[in-house]
Amino acid sequence: MYGFADRITAMPDNAQALFERGNSLLADGRPAEAIPCYQQAMQLRPTHAEAYANLGVACAELGRLDEAVSWYDAAISLRPQYPEAFYNRGNAHRQAQRHSASLDDYDAAVRSSPGFDRAWVNRGLALMKLCRAADAVASYRQALALKADYPEALNNLGLALQTLGYADDAVDHFNEALRLRPDYAPARSNRAQAWLLKGDFERGWAEYEFRWSAAGSLPPRDLPIWDGSDLHGRTILLRHEQGLGDTIMFVRYAPLVKQRGGRVILECPARLHKLLQGVAGVDGFATRNDVDVGCDVQLPLLSLPGIFQTDFRTIPSPGSYLVAHEARVSRWRTELPDGRVRVGISWQGNPDFPEDVFRSIPLSAFAPLAAVPGVRLISLQKGHGAEQAAAFPGLHELPADLDADGAFLDTAAVMMSLDVVVTSDTSIAHLAGALGRPVWLALSVGNEWRWLRDRDDSPWYPTARLFRQRDAGDWAGVFERMATMLLRQDCSTPPRAVR
C-alpha cells in the first residue's frame, strides 16, 4: 500500500547509513526496527523530508495511522511538492476511513506528479467510498492512459462500471485484467459476481469459488471439503460466511444437503441460533470458536448453489422457510401502533461492507411513504443508522431491547403484523423474504448480484418486489413509485418472471 523513498543525496554519511538501514528493515517487513533508524537520521539532519516520510510509512504499517499522518505532515512542510508523501498520507487517511481527506491527498499527489499512476488508482478508490462512481471511472481511465497493462486499474474500473449498471462493460475489463494476470483472484471473483448478476449461473457459481483467493479464507478447520456426493451417514458442517443476511438466504439449502444422507450442523454466530432452530434439514449448531464440532466434511454456505448446480428452475424457494415464535408474534401484535397500512422500514446496512455507500439510503428518502394517508412507518433499524430516526417525524421506534436475546427474534415477530417491509439491500430483506412476508427492496443501479437485473421480482424470494433506481443516485424516483403503490394500498408481490 505504502511507498517509501529509497535513497538520499547530500546527507552526512552517518545519517545516510541510518536512513538506508531503516529502508532495508522496512523492505524486509520490520517497520518497528526501522523507526529508530529514521529517528536518528532525522536528528542528524532535521530538514530531510524523506526520513520524515519513511518514518510515516513505518508507523502506518504498524497501524499507528494518526502518528503516520503527523510525520507525513512534517515531510510535506519541508517539501510542499512531495507526491509520494501526499500519496502515503492519503493511504493512511483511507485506512482510517477518512475518505474526503484521502481524496484531497490523492488530488495533491496527481497535481504534483500527473504521471503518478498509483495515485490515480487510489484516488478512484476514495471516490468510490464517497459514492462518486462516475468520477472514479475517470480516475481509473487516467491511470490506464498512463499504464495500459495495469490489472488493478482494470479490475477497479470494472467494479466502478458495474456499480453504475454496466455489467457487460465490467466483464470486459475483468477479462482484460485476467489476460494480463491469469491468476488475479480479485478479477475472477468480481467477474463471477458480474456473471451471476446477469443470470449466467453456469459460469458464475464455478468462478465464485475464487472469492476465497481474493478475500482470504474462512478460519481453517481440519476437515475435507464436501464435493456434493452421498454423505453415507457422515456429518457435514455448513459454514457461515459474509453477513447475517447471507446465512439467512442460503440456509434454505439445508434440506437438500440432508437428502444426501447425513447429519447437518450449521456453523454461524451464536446470536442466530434461536432464529434458525426451526429450519428444515438443520440437525444442530456450532460457532466458529468451537474446537471440536464432530463433523466429517465441511462446506461454506455460499458454495451450495454451485454444488447443486442451481439455475432459475431449481432455486430452493418455498413460500417461507423461517418461522417466527408464536408467543412473540402475539406480544407484538398488541404493541404495534395503529395504521391502515403498517410499513416496517430499514435503511442502513453494515458500513463495513465495501459498497455500502451505494446500497444504504438516507432515512429522509423515505419521506414520500410517510406522506401517504393511513400509512404508519415502524423502524426496524438497529445499530448503524438508527440515530437518523430522531429527526424523522412520525416514525414509530421499537424498544431498545428489541432482539436482546437473539438476532432478529423480535424483528421476525414484528414483521408478521406488518403489511409490508420496505428496506435497503440488507439482512432485513432476507429475513422478510425467508418469512414469506411482503418486502419491497430499494436497489441502486449497480445492485448486488443476487438481485439480478431488469426484473421487479426475485426468484430467491417470491414475496419480494424490487424497486430499482433508474439513474445512479436517484432514490427520490424509487420512493415516489413506492408511495404511489401505497396510495393504492397495493402491497402485492409482482408476477413471477420466467427465465
CATH code where residue 288 lies:
3.40.50
Please tell me the distance from the alpha carbon of residue 369 to that of residue 480, in angstroms, as a whole number: 8
* Domain membership flag for residue 135: yes
The residue segments making up the domain with residue 239 are: 235-307
pLDDT single digits (tens) 148-196: 999 999 999 999 999 999 999 999 999 999 999 999 999 999 999 999 9
Residues 447 and 429: their CA atoms lie apart, in Å, by 14
pLDDT attached to residue 250: 97
In a 3-state reduction of DSSP, which class is residue 90?
helix
Mean pLDDT of 266-286: 96
Residue type at 116?
F
Residue the block writes with cell 428444515? 280
Residue 317 covered by a domain: no
Do 410 and 483 belong to one domain?
yes
Calculate the average pLDDT of the chain. Answer: 93
The answer to whether residues 496 and 459 touch, using CB atoms and an 8 Å cutoff, is yes
Q: Is 63 within the bounds of a domain?
A: yes
Residues 107 and 201 in one domain: yes
Give the length of the chain.
499
Q: CA–CA distance from 300 to each of 30, 235, 305 (Å)?
A: 35, 14, 11
Domain assignment present for 7:
no
Cα 73 to chain center, whole Å?
32
Domain co-membership, 25 together with 107: yes
Within a domain: 357: yes
Q: Indicate whether 117 and 154 sit together in one domain.
A: yes
For residue 408, tell me if it sits in a domain. yes
Segment 323-336, tens digit of pLDDT:
999 999 999 999 99
217: helix, strand or coil: coil
Return d(Cα 146, Cα 20) in angstroms, integer. 30
Q: What is the DSSP string of 390-402?
A: GGSTTPEEPPTTT
Residue 447 and residue 388 share a domain:
yes
Q: Do 299 and 346 have their domain in common? A: no
DSSP 284: E
Domain boundary among 185, 214, 243: 214
Q: Based on the fold, state whether residues 416 and 268 are members of the same structural domain.
A: no
Is 229 part of any domain?
Answer: no
**Cα(348)–Cα(388) distance, rounded to whole angstroms?**
10
Residue-level pLDDT at 295: 97
On whether both 58 and 187 belong to a single domain, the answer is: yes
User: Which pLDDT value is given to residue 6?
Assistant: 54
**Phi and psi angles of residue 402, each rounded to the nearest 5 degrees, phi first:** -55, 130
**Where a domain ends, among 307, 337, 366?**
307
Question: With 70 as the cut, is the pLDDT of residue 9 above it?
Answer: no
**Number of domains making up the chain:** 3
Report the C-alpha gap between 180 and 178 in whole angstroms. Answer: 5
| Alpha helices (H) in 28-132, listed in sequence order | 31-44, 49-61, 65-78, 83-95, 99-112, 117-129
Residues 69 and 206 in one domain: yes
Identify the pLDDT of residue 215. 66
Do 415 and 464 fall within a single domain?
Answer: yes
CB 68 within 8 A of CB 40: no
Q: Which cell is 19 given?
A: 536512513
Q: Render pLDDT for 372-383 as a digit per residue (tens, 0 to 9).
A: 999 999 999 998
- Looking at the fold, whether 254 and 185 belong to one and the same domain comes out as no
DSSP string computed for 406-447: STTHHHHHHHTT-SEEEE-SSHHHHHHHHHT--EEEEE-TT-
Q: Is residue 39 part of a domain?
A: yes
State the pTM of this model.
0.90
Say if residue 499's pLDDT is above 60.
no
DSSP secondary structure letter of residue 259: T
d(CA 428, CA 498): 26
pLDDT-derived band at 216 (thresholds 50, 70, 90) equals low
**Whether 387 and 446 share a structural domain:** yes
The predicted-structure confidence for 98-116, as pLDDT tens digits, reads as follows 999 999 999 999 999 999 9
